């Protein structure tokens, strides 16, 4: 699976990234709600009175990627507003998008999203871990899939899963 294409070529290398994972695949209707809601929110999103240029996409039904384009930086209050928007989506659609303990295992033809205690049975089927902590488009494109021995992956999985 080529995950490097999950960040559009039109997004500049220094586009800032935030990844959100859902506890289950979003239905087609939910995907439309997420994409349309994001379009409306990001159209009027400001930082210190300056418009932020942002977009988000769903490369997979359980994965949302927010890209904030170079120019005005998203800081403090603007990030709080984005978190509020994501929280509203969570409430409206019964989702859990901000769980930072969730990992994305990349398999040959799909992904498996889960917390460490649910991944042990799937781990051997995986190619590696999606780099959901990449902070820029360049960083993600350069290394979209991390190996099992990556230190933060080992910390998340714990000693029971070390190679």
**pLDDT number for residue 44:** 92
The tens-digit pLDDT sequence of the chain (163 residues) is: 888 889 999 999 999 999 999 999 999 999 999 999 999 999 999 999 999 999 999 999 999 999 999 998 888 899 999 999 999 999 999 999 999 888 898 988 889 898 877 776 666 667 888 999 999 999 999 999 998 788 888 888 775 455 4
Q: 163 in a domain, yes or no?
A: no
Q: Are 18 and 88 found together in one domain?
A: yes
What pTM was computed for the model?
A: 0.90
pLDDT value, residue 136: 97
- Which one, of 113, 100, 130, lies nearest residue 26 by Cα? 113
The verdict on 16 and 70 lying in the same domain is: yes
Task: Please check whether residues 130 and 70 belong to one and the same domain.
Answer: no
How many domains, in total, are found in the chain? 2
- Say if residues 103 and 129 touch (Cβ distance below 8 Å): yes
Is residue 60 included in any domain, yes or no? yes
Please identify, among 56, 74, 93, the residue that sits at the C-terminal boundary of a domain. 93
Tell me what pLDDT residue 124 has.
65
- Whether residues 78 and 131 fall in one domain: no
**Domain assignment present for 5:** no
Whether 87 and 106 share a structural domain: no
Q: Do residue 59 and residue 39 come from a single domain? A: yes
CB 58 within 8 A of CB 34: yes
Looking at the structure, tell me whether residues 123 and 144 fall in a common domain: yes
pLDDT of residue 149: 80
| Predicted pLDDT at 30 | 97
What's the pLDDT at 85?
Answer: 96
Three state DSSP letters for the chain:
CCHHHHCCCCCCCCCEEEEEECCCCCCHHHHHHHHHHHHHHHHCCEECCEECCEEEEEEECCEEEEEECCCCCCCHHHHHHHHHHHHHHHHHHCCCCCCCCEEEEEECCCEEEEEHHHHCCCHHHEEEEECCCCCEHHHHHHCCEECCCCHHHHHHHCHHHCC
Which residue segment(s) compose the domain that 143 sits in?
Answer: 102-158
Question: For the sheet containing 63-68, what is the strand order?
Answer: 16-21, 63-68, 54-60
Flag whether 154 is in a domain: yes
15 and 84 inside one domain: yes
Do residues 126 and 75 share a domain? no
Same domain, 112 and 72: no
Contact criterion met (CB below 8 Å) for 4 and 146: no
- The confidence score (pLDDT) of residue 161 equals 55
Last residue of one domain, picked from the residues 75, 93, 111: 93
Other CB atoms within a 10 A radius of the CB of residue 47 amount to 18
As a whole number of angstroms, the distance between CA 124 and CA 127 comes to: 8
59 shares a domain with 33: yes
The verdict on residue 69 lying in a domain is yes
Same domain? For 88 and 122 the reply is: no
According to the model, what pLDDT value does residue 139 have?
96
């Amino acid at each position: 699976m080529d995950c490097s294409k999950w960040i559009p070529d039109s997004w500049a290398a220094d586009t800032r990234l935030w990844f959100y994972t859902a506890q289950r695949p979003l239905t087609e209707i939910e995907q439309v709600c997420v994409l349309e809601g994001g379009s409306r929110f990001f159209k009027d999103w400001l930082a210190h009175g300056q418009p932020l240029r942002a977009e988000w996409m769903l490369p997979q039904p359980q994965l949302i990627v927010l890209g904030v384009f170079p120019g005005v930086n998203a800081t403090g209050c603007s990030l709080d507003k984005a978190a509020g928007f994501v929280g509203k989506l969570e409430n409206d659609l019964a989702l859990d998008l901000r769980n930072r303990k969730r990992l994305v295992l990349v398999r040959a033809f799909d992904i498996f999203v889960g917390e460490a205690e649910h991944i042990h049975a799937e781990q051997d089927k995986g190619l590696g871990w999606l780099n959901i902590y990449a902070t820029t488009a360049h960083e993600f494109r350069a290394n979209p899939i991390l190996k099992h021995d990556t230190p933060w992956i080992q910390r998340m999985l714990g000693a029971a899963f070390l190679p």
